[in-house]
Structure 1
Amino acid sequence: MTDDEGADWIPAGADLSRPSAARIYDYLLGGAHNLTPDREVARQLEAIQPQVAAVARRNRAFLRRVVRFMLDQGVRQFLDLGSGIPTVGNVHEVAQDVDPEAKVVYVDYEPVAVAHSRMLLKDNPHAEALEADATNTEAVLKSEQVERLLDLRKPVGLLAITLGHYLPEVRGVFAAYRDALAPGSHLALTHLTNDFAVLSDPRVAETMRNTQNHIYPRTKDEVLALFEGFELVEPGLTTSANWRPDRLAAVVDPEEDGLYAGVGVKV
């Protein structure tokens, strides 16, 4: 037993033997819901690329901006795929600050992420966490949580933030969700790439092979293909810090940003 295993936020039966991307990301964001093996991998990544925590923070800030953008477009329901472990500025917090009745379903297969999300949401009637593999689109879309909270006949904000690069086959997954959504729905995604210097070191992918989540970086054209059936909004496919930054000073050289980012609307 490790020192972590007695923590009350770890669900019974959770596999703690291998680090997970969700818990590594939580550590990089300064969260407390991560384990010793996760921290070890995160520190290995930081040794390879000291900017990796900054990339994670900019990615999280992008999530908050796109939720606000979708709310401005009239979207009031959100499906967050690969949602990870809750930290400050969760989707439901951003959305319900604007509209207290905005609906959110979080989807993740990492038990710690789901357990902590459920604890956080226990008194929130408009948000729930679903333990499921996001690639099983039918199981997600026909789940009790989605069917109770989301009306797929109306626009949905589909969030796939740092999801695609963990999937060896991704276009079919995105297409299945697209086909289930109503016109006016929005897709927001970020995706790891080797096109930029900051995360192109092959040791990044090699380090992640020691976790539950291998990574599959993709080129700009490959990421653009994930928006098939969606019309990209300005500024098109850019990087996470450079998508409609809150202030000019927040603009970051793409070579240091590392993640493609964009938002599209289903026409």
Structure 2
Amino acid sequence: MSAQKVWLITGTSTGLGRSLAETVIARGDMLVATVRNQGAGRELTELAPDRVKVVTMDVTDAAAIRSCVQEAYRAFGRIDVLVNNAGYGLFGAVEEITEEQIRRQLETNLTGSILMTKEVLPRMREQRSGHIIQISSVGGQLATPGLSIYHATKWGIEGFCESLAGEVAAFGIKVTIVEPGGIRTDWAGRSMDHGDILAAYEGTPIAQIRQMREELVPSGDPDKMARVIAGLTLRDDAPLRLTLGSDAYTLLQQILPKRLEQLEAEKVLTLSTDTEHAGAASDGWKQLLK
């Protein structure tokens, strides 16, 4: 049997975060679970009082992040797995969304995950081990009208994590980006924020997608996804990216080849902008990206 791990999971009040927290507890591991509202994680503590610590924290509060990580180390002495899960959706055309909504979305989904990661890295580096699991979305590799700010956070965090993986691999730290499709949680319900609807967008893709979202029944099972995510920490070959759900798989199969097609379609124009010394520079980047 593998040794107990210490997990820090953000956003465990509901949804995938709650399912993952319960899975970790059932495995016999130790858990620091963050919630936004006082008392929201009481049920988790009751499952294993000696192995679970619930911390009330808003990931947009840098001081609260520092305090949370300090509490985790005081409670269990280490953090083996960080899961950046806290986040929410924001639907609406860019014109329909306020500046305050934009900033809150970026601070929660993007900046919060970056600051949490930054806070745990020094001690993981000292341990020469650790696994950072970032809950992203299939929306981190494709985009649909109406979710532009949400996509900005997910595309941003994916770039951050891919770069981070190269920075920390030498210290025995792994990074995995998890990209779920639709999940049967309240992500698209009460957890989602909305812009004020403008009549100008009636009859456009925004209105069509808004209607579709109200009728769509997601296929993803949060408990099954949680078990798969927990299993990543037992793998020496944990992937940089893991897509979850048949809908996400189908969408990426369609989208990713189209990007290569577009790249090849403009190849002549692309290469026409090089200097005469471009060959050597390209070779250098190829070596770095291996």
TM-score under structure 1 length normalisation: 0.48
Identify, as 1 or 2, the structure richer in helix.
2
TM-score under structure 2 length normalisation: 0.45
